[in-house]
Structure 1
Amino acid sequence: MNRRPTFLAAITLTAAAALTLSACGSDDSSENKDNDKIAGADTGGDKSASPSASASASAERPDIKLPSDVTYDFEWKKSGDPDKDAVLNDAEQRIKAVDMAIAEQDALHEAYRFYSEGTAAAGSQSYIQEFIDHKARTTGVTRYYNESLTIKDDGTAALVYCEDQSKAFNKFLETGKTDVTPVTEDSYVVYAGTLRKNKNGVWVTETLNSQRGSAKCQP
């Protein structure tokens, strides 16, 4: 299936994320469309020990290197607000870092742990491990759009955005085969995340929830 293996477990949008989406004007219904787990998503449940963000001890950001067939179209608009633009930049780097970990088949890759903590990091670790177990990675172009960002009084940032996976697929490493599947409404995913700036000035993602087929993201 597009940008996600069929072997991944289902995920639902938590109540907290639903409130975030409502506050941002989402028009998705109360019925969850939760066919698959999404890259880096928080399952909303208890996890085993989360990967620590030890890489955040240094403000020097990791170098993200991806296969040439893994590309992105970020349509996120820069606001001119330094804090908001920094949030968007670090959220973008986290997305790429997860794909880098998948490509390098490393479920504890320091790059995504630099940009995530807590349940967001644990969810990413589980997702990456699924790819490793099935000797697969991502390929194609993924589009990100329709973002909504608020920096709250408590210093956290609430980021909601859409992902278009219609041109992104799974590639199996042993055969080189790409699993090209038809585009459906579930090819479009809405994410709701919470980020906080750490002591090194990096906006790390602490929670991340997703929902497939949301009306908010349909073309």
Structure 2
Amino acid sequence: MGSLKRSLASDREPTVNRRPTLLAALTLTAAAALTLSACGSDDSSKAKPNDKIAGADSGDEASPSATASASGAGGRPEIELPSDVTYKFEWKKTGDAGKDAVLSDAEQRIKAVDMAIARQDPLDKAYRFYSDGTAAAGSQKYIQEFVDHKARTTGLTRYYNETVTIKDDGTAALVYCEDQSKAFNKFLKTGKTDVTPVTKDSYVVYAGTLRKNDKGVWVTERLISQRGSAKCRP
């Protein structure tokens, strides 16, 4: 899970990051080789042990009202987010059905993770529908951090500079940028939004590996990131 947004702290609120950090490296075939920090991108204190995602640590407000939703073929879950959680996806249609499906399912995974954070549920089914393996484990840890600090995301997040490649082995490589300059952490207990200055670390590059499952869904199996990448900075 890449670096959590910015490290957000104040004298009254605990520190919580918008994007967590675990170090790793990946050679990207879509561009040059990049060294990235591994990224995964739901509280279920009553969750059963068998519900835990393999490789992830176990870990309040009511569910938000719906302002955006997506559902469709393959039993895709409906995505419901608070009205103050918004996105600007600048990903372009490629004209290739396979690549466009990769981009669509990757977009839904991003939204599903934020929905799990808003629901304070590290085991929410929606993000698990779109992720598996180390990506799902990383997302669970990422969401759990927000739960531990009783916080969620707020504001506008922009996604751009995407490159998608479908390989001969059936997997897809997706590289994209995220602009977090207008996205922040909101603490549920106080309702306070921790607005932080924009720095080079507000811009993050991600690289993911996806595979189409038997439901026809492009599932993210691995996701890594690097904060402050020159590829993404304005």
Q: What range is the shorter-chain TM-score in?
A: 0.7 to 0.9
1:212 CA displacement: 0.3
Larger relative CO (CA 8 A, sep 6+): 1 or 2? 1
Describe the SS at the equivalent of 1:167.
strand
RMSD: 2.3
- Is 1:49 the counterpart of 2:54? The answer is yes
1:80 CA displacement: 1.0
**Aligned mate of 1:71, from 86, 89, 98:** 86
Match of 2:30 in 1: 24
1:64 CA displacement: 0.1
Task: Using structure 2 for the length normalisation, give the TM-score.
Answer: 0.78
Describe the SS at the equivalent of 1:95.
helix
Match of 2:60 in 1: none
Quick one: distance in 1 between partners of 2:113 and 2:6?
Answer: 13
Where do residues 121-136 of structure 1 align in structure 2 (5 Å cutoff)?
121-136=136-151
Q: 1:59 to 1:134 in 2, by over 3 A?
A: same
Q: Contact conserved, 1:136 with 1:173, CA < 8 A, in 2?
A: yes
Q: Which has the higher helix share?
A: 1
Q: Percent identity?
A: 71
Q: Contact conserved, 2:87 with 2:158, CA < 8 A, in 1?
A: yes
Structure 1 counterpart of 2:186, one-letter code: K
Quick one: distance in 2 between partners of 1:38 and 1:145?
Answer: 18
Quick one: distance in 2 between partners of 1:157 and 1:144?
Answer: 18
Describe the SS at the equivalent of 1:138.
strand
Q: 1:4 to 1:64 in 2, by over 3 A?
A: farther
- Is 1:10 the counterpart of 2:21? The answer is yes
Tell me, which stretches of 5 or more residues in structure 1 are unaligned?
41-46, 52-57
Aligned length: 197
Task: Using structure 1 for the length normalisation, give the TM-score.
Answer: 0.83
1:61 CA displacement: 0.3
Describe the SS at the equivalent of 2:181.
coil
Match of 1:55 in 2: none
Quick one: distance in 1 between partners of 2:40 and 2:54?
Answer: 19
